[in-house]
Amino acid sequence: MVMTNSLVLLKALDVQTWTYILVGITFALYISIAIWSRAGSTKDFYVAGAGVSPLANGMATAADWMSAASFISMAGIISFAGYDGAVYLMGWTGGYVLLALLLAPYLRKFGKFTVPDFIGDRYYSKTARIVAVFCALLVSFTYVAGQMRGVGIVFSRFLEVDIDTGVIIGMLIVLFYAVLGGMKGITYTQVAQYCVLIFAFMVPAIFISIQMTGHPIPQFGFGSELSDGSGTFLLDKLDGLSTELGFSEYTEGSKSTLDVFAITLALMVGTAGLPHVIVRFFTVKRVKDARKSAGIALLLIVVLYTTAPAVAAFARTNMIETVSNKTYADVPEWFKKWETTGLITYEDKNKDGIIQYVADEKTNELVVDRDIMVLANPEIAKLPNWVIALVAAGGLAAALSTAAGLLLVISASVSHDLIKKIIKPTISEKGELIAARLSAVGAVCVAGYFGIHPPGFVAAVVALAFGLAAASFFPAIIMGIFYKKMNKEGAIAGMIVGITAMLLYMMKYKLGWFDDALPNKNEWWFGISPEGFGAIAMCLNFVVSIIVLQFTQAPPKDVQNIVENIRIPSGAGEASNH
């Protein structure tokens, strides 16, 4: 009897109460882990004492990697862009493979704390280190802006606070466990966050797949017939709904082949240059552990990435069918609740009380922020309240796990690479740890500002961060490992030219800084979007580096010997731990 009453009570709880319960439990878990694993040394703070197991590091890397862009925005982009949205799937997945095979083991063998640390020592130059610190801060702040916006979106809907308040709550939580635990606390928190986010992503996907197609595996449901007895395949139905409303077919792309190639390449090489992901491979004991954890992380990432297209198709189909051509008075409750956040807006242009959702901007009356699609999907499909709240907890786990990793990169860049290595080499370990924590506090404040005033929707901001990483770090790291004759002058010139080109293009074509109005896509160079320009800037970096190398001296012999050593497989079982 008691059990029955408890079940009835739980079933009666509303979404907001369930959200408080599930988010409260997960936040308590994260904070408890941070207290349990608090950092006592700079090595704990920067690389978790370099003693993390491959399994734990693989799970932490997957959580670090799958940010709010992966959890919240990627399926949202695919649901609106259809085939064109696949560039994010290809770029991010392919980039992780590139990182695992080309960079992770060699960087671990080099045995440093940060990417600027590697560049500063490999290119035997304080200037190279300073340029790398600037690039790391720029990439990390651009990336973290997307995460904090993701946090604000989740809180604004499910805790019914405004987005700004949501960002501030997220700042306080991430500040607590990032500052207290450092990389050690973040690592074990991210293990828990991976479990939360993957469970939260898969449960509603499985529910909706069964509901719409009868298949419990979303990946199969994506290519299956609908279970309504019509004999129509899901994607055929979605193509039909899209064309009826004046949109292009869901399964047809509108981007040029060159732009698709450029965006995919920029995302791939940007992945391989992301400082907050690279630093994860410094936390394991041995080079072979870096390889193992990279493989484990890839398998864990694939679970979400192969499910995202199915979630996108489910969400788009349900959204069109429940809203388009319906009277405003009859719209479902979820619509009204999201409307209060400002992320769905309806303007009755022809005053007939019917929602006209069409491709033609002049007659279209409905504007939907693509970032809400994953979060609203369970509500649209009328799933139980606890599933809706679970998605909120998962979105927060994804955003906070990546934000924490980025904040650590920012604090390490300031305390270790600037203060310890350049400004005050005599600083004590205790002083450096204090500086790292203060840097993290400052970084959280700046990140919060960007979260409240973001330059675009989550995945677009994140895509620009990948472009910046591709333009700056990737060539310097690749040539630093595989081209022993690359010198400091070439690397510095390449990084400066690459990051500058990407910044100028981004400012002009994404932010409209040099024009009265934002230039349209017909003015893009070679038809390449700002999200794809990182590939061009990366090529500029390579070209400038090699040209400058021809007119300057080769690196010292000892530096060339270090480069030879990190590529030797024999005896690679133990890595340097200094």
Q: pTM higher than 0.95 for the full model?
A: no
Mean pLDDT of 155-180: 76
Q: State the burial class of residue 243 (Cβ atoms within 10 Å of its Cβ: 0-12, 13-18, 19+).
A: middle
Instruction: Report the pLDDT averaged over residues 488-509.
Output: 92
The string of pLDDT tens digits covering residues 184-218 is 777 888 888 888 889 999 999 999 999 999 999 99
**pLDDT on residue 210:** 94
If one compares 51 and 397, the residue with the highest pLDDT of the two is 397
Q: Indicate the pLDDT class of residue 544, thresholds 50, 70 and 90.
A: very high
**What 3-state DSSP class applies to 344?**
strand
Domain count across the chain: 1
Token pair recorded at residue 144? 């973290």
Residue 35 has pLDDT above 80, yes or no: no
Residues 506-536 pLDDT 10s = 888 876 676 666 666 677 888 888 888 999 9
The DSSP bridge partners found for residue 368 are 344
The residue among 10, 131, 83, 16 whose CA lies nearest residue 388 is 16
CA gap 465, 2 in Å, rounded: 53
Closest CA to 355 of 379, 339, 378, 377: 339
Q: How far is 520 from 523, CA to CA, in rounded Å?
A: 6
Distances (CA, A) of 230 to 53, 227, 236: 51, 8, 12
* pLDDT class of 312 with cuts at 50, 70, 90: very high
Average pLDDT over residues 158-170: 78
Structure confidence by residue, pLDDT tens digits, 51-62: 678 888 888 888
* Sign of torsion over alpha carbons 242, 244, 247, 250: positive
- For 413, the domain range is 47-566
Cβ 534 vs Cβ 466: under 8 Å: yes
List, in order, residues 6 or more apart from 108 with CB less than 8 Å away.
281, 282, 284, 286, 287, 289, 290, 575
Question: 571 in a domain, yes or no?
Answer: no
Confidence of residue 570 (pLDDT cuts 50, 70, 90): very low
Q: Write the pLDDT tens digit of every residue in 64-94.
A: 777 777 888 888 889 988 888 888 888 888 8
Task: Please name the residues in contact with 425: beta carbons below 8 A apart, sequence gap of 6 or more.
Answer: none
Residue 5 resides in a domain: no
Residue 462, both tokens: 């994140």
The segment with the largest mean pLDDT, out of 29-33, 218-222, 251-255, 441-445, is 218-222
* 494 within a domain of the structure (yes/no): yes
pLDDT at residue 459, rounded to an integer: 52
Percent of the chain with pLDDT over 70: 88
Alpha-helical segments (H) within 162-286: 163-213, 218-221, 234-244, 257-271, 275-278
Mean pLDDT of 381-409: 83
Residue 575 has pLDDT above 90, yes or no: no
What sign has the CA pseudo-torsion 418, 421, 422, 427? positive
pLDDT tens-place string over residues 347-376: 888 888 888 888 888 888 888 888 888 888
Distance of CA 274 to the CA centre of its chain: 10
Nearest to 272 by CA among 119, 474, 462: 474
Q: Rounded distance, CA 18 to CA 15, Å?
A: 5
The pLDDT, as a whole number, for residue 437 is 81
CATH at 271: 1.20.1730.10
Q: Give the residue-averaged pLDDT of 277-285.
A: 76
In a domain, 298, yes or no: yes
Residue 571 has pLDDT above 50, yes or no: no
What percentage of the chain carries pLDDT values higher than 90? 19
Q: Is 225 helix (H, G, I), strand (E, B) or coil?
A: strand
Q: To the nearest whole number, what is the mean pLDDT of the chain?
A: 82
**Regarding predicted confidence, which is higher, 459 or 120?**
120
74 part of a folded domain: yes
Predicted pLDDT of residue 8? 52
Q: Could you report the per-residue pLDDT of 111-157, keeping only the tens digit for each?
A: 766 788 889 889 988 999 999 988 888 888 777 777 777 777 777 77
pLDDT bracket for residue 578 (50, 70, 90): very low
Cα atoms in the Cβ-side hemisphere of radius 13 Å centred on 371: 27
The CA angle 488-468-195, to the nearest 5 degrees, is 115
> What H or E segment, with its residue span, contains residue 345?
strand 344-346
Q: What's the confidence (pLDDT) of residue 488? A: 94
Say if 401 falls within a structural domain. Answer: yes
Decide if pLDDT at 223 tops 70.
yes
In a domain, 8, yes or no: no
| Residue 21 within a domain | no
